Structures are given as structure tokens and as C-alpha cells.
Structure 1
């Protein structure tokens, strides 16, 4: 007798709803965190998450269970693009990122995946992931109030000790929850930390009265704040290359799902369909003013724990996310999340992003005794977090590539042009082979 729910199985509504809510809670903390950090509306992120998941299910012929949510990899480029070129220009970069996915999906369909593995080996992907996490570290410290020279407008009327206390309580609950929570709570420690931090902020007077009044005055039902993209080449050049990092992450998620479910989804429905679904979801998000999307490891974890793989359950979570995006008080509470709460949880989350880059090094047994690996990692990390930028003109317009995007491009180019073995390593290899032959001859 089987003890799991298979991909195509449809459960009764009364059973599906709580299982779908569990998936929603698993992803909601991270999904709403991305728009909060980047100055977007959490309700539009929930809406795009739900619609994106349904689009993904359609693209994969309802044969691959995966939930689509906001991508952390794009936070840095989104902040830069929004600040320098405006929010409407930034979401044109979101559409460019989605287009990269769609193009790659078409290439994989006809040419296979070997070229992508060659362009993005683990040492490149791991280094870029480290850049993504460390590049955001300063933002987390500022929000937590741990940088004495940083002063946000909302800090003026709040004692710094109260601000820091809220951040540390949030961080502490996030750490303890990740370590010690069991069962259902084990999949939502970040959400629990944010709720605890919010309550602490209320108790210490960190949440201003104006925020509470705004929440109370919000209508029960309201449309998410949709936004029309404004074409901007700079924003598109800034964000499009980051897609290659999330592509590597996406492929990893598919392989993990293969192991969890016990099927080879790269063959049916096919990896190209999975990547296409991610791209279509991200394109849609950019079209309506939402953040870039990606498949969520948190929801793969939920499937592994519950052994419920039904796409109907995943789709149900998407529908609930869409409904929540229209509930005004929910969006208002999230939009007025105190900055120290975000700071506390971001210290943990941004650190986890960087650490996952090191995890890639360990799991793939990257040999830093090889000069190529050492050079790739060194150059990518320094360019990525050192503030490097390249400016040039394209059709009379000024174009700038910086940060994660520049590090990704440089990493891919270096990886393709550098030989696997340096001259000195080649000489050492020849000497070792000669010595081995001599020892074998003497032994005979």
C-alpha cells in the first residue's frame, strides 16, 4: 500500500485546502520579503506568485509539482535599477530576465543542456550566489540599526536600543525556529520570526501610529497596485544576466524534485518546459509590475515532509495567494512591516544565501588547489561585491552593467576561455605520471 499522494492525484477539497495553506505558509515569508526589501507592494508579489504558479503548471502540462515565488537573486539589481532608472524601468528588467528563461528553454529543447553546464559549472554558480548574499549584507545591518552612522527617517522618533531589540528578537526567533521547530512550524520559522518581531515592535512603540491608522483605514478588498513597464536598456542589461544564476538554481530544484518524487522530470514533461514555465511566470510578473519569479526550495521541502506531490495541492496554494492579494488589511499589515523586523530576518536570510554558495563548493567538491577554480571564485566575488561597473554607449544611450550582472558575465567568459589545467599544473601532472611509471618499472 503506497504512503504518498502522486503528482496527478486529486484530493477532496476539505483535504486539499489545509495542504495548500501549508505550501502558502512555507513560501509566503520569503515571497513577501523580496517586494518589501525592494519597495514594491507585497500584494502584487502574492498575485504574481499565484498566477505564476498556475502558468507554470500549464507550461509543464500539470506533470511537475513546483511553486513559483519571488526570487532573492534579483534583489540587488532591482534596488539599483529602481534607484537609478525608476520602478517602471526596473520591471522592464524583470521582463528581460523572463525572456532569457524562454530563450534558454528553446535552446535546451533543440540542443540539450550540455552547453549550459559548461558555461555555468558549480564554481561559477557558487561564487555568484556568495556575491548575491554578501552584496546585501550592508543593507541588513543598516535596517537592524547596527550601523551607528546609518539613520533612516523612521528611526528619528525611536530609541536605537528599541530598534536593535526588535531586530535581535526577530533574528533570535528565526535562528531558534530553524534549529528547534518541529512539524508544521519547521517549514515556516521565518514567518514566525517576522510575526514575533512585529508584535515586539508594537510593544516597544517602534510601529508609528500613522502606520496603525493606515492599516485600520484600509478597505477589505482592493486591487494590487499594477504597474506598466517602461522600456529601459540599462535596467534590462543589469538584470538579464542574473537569470543564468537562477537558471542553475532552477535546474538544481528539478533534480531535487526528481529525488523526492521518484520520477525523472527532465524527460517528462522535460526540463525545457520547466524553464519555460519559470520564464512565462517572470514575464507575466514584469508585465503587471511584480518581482522576478523562481521555483521555491521551501515547497520542495514541504513535499518531502508530507509526501504529497499533487499539482492540485500546489495549484490550490496559488489560488489562495491570488485571493489574499486582494484582501486590503493583509497587504497593509505587510506593507507597514517595521524596518528592524526586516533587518533581523535579513541578517539570517542574506547570510543563508551567501552560505548556500559555500555549500555548492562543498557538495560539488570544488578543488581550490586548481588555479582555474581559485581564479574564477576570486575574480567573481571581488567584482561582485566591490562596486565594479562597466559603462558604454549603445545606439547613443548610456548603458551600465554592475554588481551581480557584471560578475556573472565575467565569470562565464573566464570559465570558457581559461584552460582547466594551468601550465605549472600540467608540468606537475607530467612529473607525477613519470614518477609513477618509474615506480611501476622498479616494482617489476
Structure 2
């Protein structure tokens, strides 16, 4: 099997297809976030590509990580956009990027062991479960009603076919196709809807009018983030979970590539790169970025760890963002298709949380761990909310994932570590 090291540059005839392989791996997840949150897909592609190049520059070309849209911020983006406006969500994203950079400098001078005390697996795993399960109603709404208020059987059938294709691709396909089941599911559901729409009016959900009116090429739109106390605090609290996710992804990359990225170029550089990319994204209407497990999976399968290959994928993604007809075509994907794929995708996010606590050996016969997880799940999924009056007309609200994360951190810090009493048999 071919094996290419981190700093090796493959010959061009191998370089191009290897880079496109990474584009396919990241594509569906990267564009799904803006589709769900209402942000421009072209902006997500542009900030993903350029953000990855920024990351490579800051890490001195030593870490083969691809950065794509972060799923952890879907709920905060939707919530803040609806309550304050998209500009304030972008302001929260910018604050996250700066926060990453600040934490990276703390890690530079004091190390990273303290993060394990603040964000142990029992907290992080539980928060990740909340992130996935909190989005479940959104997936079902798209699958059952197509984002409208009326149920349609045709919508459910489209969602079911999309989900079935994605599951089949996940379980039965081999090699490279195992890392792009989401993309395969979306394409399959799209074609099913297109074909059925030729025979049944209720399936006629794809309209190419906007594609025809959209210019072929265009420049990314510069955005001006706005800043508010509530959006910033909400995003920063959620970012505590994504910082822990960054630590995990960097560790996995180290194991896959056979290098210790925690030491060289250093965890402070990888986190600073992530932060700089996220701050950059906020000025072009893109969601916060994160290192992508999908691309780590591609590296593990292919044994190609080259930063040059990742950089090539970033250039391809950036070029695609300038083709506006391509972005308009993505916007024609019907809501039931996205609903079907989201049923699996959001479940995978929640399952990743379960995997975190299982692989970390969290003992749920210990009442301390059981209590922390229980409270996080109920507050996060149940829609827990606290309000503090700031002025007569403005309340500070903290709810959902942010509240669950904060309470989980507090419980972990105040409950005695030696509280190992087991549940009564």
C-alpha cells in the first residue's frame, strides 16, 4: 500500500486525485452546516479552504489537518440568528476564534493537563450527546414536513430512502466509500426525488430556476460581525466542548500519522490555527471551523499523511466557492433529503458522545459520574433556561447546550473526586 509522510510532496498525477479524495470526504458535512443554519454554502467552502491554509501556515506545515464547518455550533447559530440576527452569530463565532487563541497561549506557558480537570470525559461525552440529540427535532421536522407545518407522506418517503442509502453505504461499501456515506446518501436521495418528481406532483421539490439566474462566478461576500454579551457568552461556553474535541482530534491524528503533534509543532499552535481560521470565517459569513475526523479517516485508510495533499484539498475547496452556480445547485437539495441524512448524522454525533465516555472508561456505577451526566442530559435536551435581567428591556438568557456545558463543568469542579460510592444494588 502507498505511504506518504507528513512532509512529502507526491507527484502531480497522484497529488490531484488524493486531494480531491479529501474534498469528497469533507464536502457533505461542510456544506450541511450552512444549509441547516441558513448561512451561504459558498462562504462555508471558502472559509473552510482558506481556514485550512491558515491552519497549515500557523502549524508550520507539520500537521495534516483539514478544517471544516463545526456541528457543535449549529444550535447556537440558529438560536442567536433567530433572536438577534445572523451578524450577532458571526460575532459570537469571532469571539470563539479569539478565545481559542487565548487558550492556546495559556497552554503554551502552562501546558494542557489543566483542561482534563475542567473538561473530563464524563462532561465532554455528555455534552456531545446533548449536541446531537438537541438537533433531533430539527431532523424530524425536515423529514416529516420538509420544514413546513404540514406532514406529507412523500416527504417521509424521500427522507427514508435517503437514510436507507446512507446506512447501506456505511455498512456495506468498502474502501474510500466508507468515509463518504453522507455524500452518497444526499446524492441518492436527490436523484430519487428528481426521478419521482417526473411522475408525481407531490415529489416535485427541486427547482432549478435560481440556478439558471445565478452568475457562474463571483467573489465571497465580506460580512461585518456584530457583538453582544449574550451571543458571545453562549458561543464561548459551547466552545469549551469544541476545544476538548480539538484535543481529541489532534491526538488521533498523532496516532494515525505516527508523530506527536502535541509536542511538535505543539498543541498551542494547532489550537491557535483553529482559532485564527474560525475568526477569519466570521468575516465572510462562514460557520466556526474544526478539525475533521472524516479526513483523519481518509488518512488512516490510505496511509497518505501529506500536508501537501491537505493543502491541495483546501485550494480545491476555495476554488469551488467562487463557482456560484455550484452553490445555487446545492441550495436545491430538498429539505426531506437533508432530514433523512440528518437522522443518521445527528445520531452519529450523539453516539460519538457515548463512545467518548465508553472509551475513556467512565464508571457509571459511581454516583458522581451518573449525576453529572444525568443533569447535563436533562438540561441540554429538555431546553433548560435561566434568565438574568440586565436592563428593564433586556434579559441575559443561557440555555440548551451552553447551560448544560456550564452546569456540567461546575458540578465536576465542586463534587468531591473521591465520591466513588456505588449505586445500591
Question: Into which bin does the TM-score normalised by the smaller protein fall?
Answer: over 0.9
Q: Does 1:405 align with 2:402?
A: yes
CA shift, 1:375, in A, is 0.7
Q: Deviations over 1:124-163 (max 9, x none)?
A: 0010000001100011011001xxxx5744x87xx82221
2:177 to 185, 197, 202: 185
1:182-201 CA distance string (max 9 Å, x none): 12222211101101111111
**Aligned-residue offset at 1:14:** 2.4
Distance 1:299 1:15 in 2: 17
In the alignment, structure 1 residue 338 sits paired with structure 2 residue 339: no
- TM (norm. structure 1) is 0.90
Does structure 1 conserve the Cα–Cα contact (< 8 Å) formed by 2:146 and 2:155? no
Q: 1:56, 1:281 → 2: CA distance?
A: 7
Q: Tell me the C-alpha RMSD between the 2 structures.
A: 1.9
Name the counterpart of 1:62: 61
Which residue pairs with 1:53 in the alignment?
52
Match of 1:20 in 2: 19
1:361: how far off? 1.6
Distance 1:130 1:341 in 2: 23
**Aligned match of 2:161 in 169, 177, 201?**
169
For residues 283-326 of structure 1, give each alpha carbon's deviation from its aligned partner in whole angstroms, at most 9, with x where no partner exists: 11112221011000000011111111111110010000000001
Shift of 1:423: 8.4
Which of 254, 257, 261 is equivalent to 1:258?
254
Secondary structure of 1:231's counterpart equals: coil
Distance 1:401 1:182, change over 3 A: same
The one of 377, 382, 392 equivalent to 2:378 is 382
**How much does 1:405 deviate?**
0.8
TM-score under structure 2 normalisation? 0.94
Matched residues in 1 for 2:55 and 2:147: separation? 39
Cα distance between partner residues in 1 of 2:147 and 2:29:
23
Partner of 2:92: 93
Q: Which runs of 5+ in 1 are unaligned?
A: 429-444
Q: CA deviation at 1:19?
A: 0.5
**Residue 311 of structure 1 pairs with residue 307 of structure 2:** yes
Unaligned runs of 5+ in 2: 198-202
Q: Paired residue for 2:200? A: none
Shift of 1:13: 2.4
Contact 1:372/1:421, CA 8 A, preserved across alignment: no
Q: Deviations over 1:251-271 (max 9, x none)?
A: 111111111111111110001
Report the equivalent of 2:73.
74
C-alpha deviation, 1:225, in angstroms:
3.7
3-state SS of 1:93 partner: helix
Report the CA distance between 1:3 and its aligned residue: 4.8
Matched, 1:416 2:413: yes
* Paired residue total: 418
Shift in CA distance, 207/214, structure 1 to aligned 2, threshold 3 Å:
farther
| Contact 1:41–1:335 (CA under 8 A) maintained in structure 2 | no
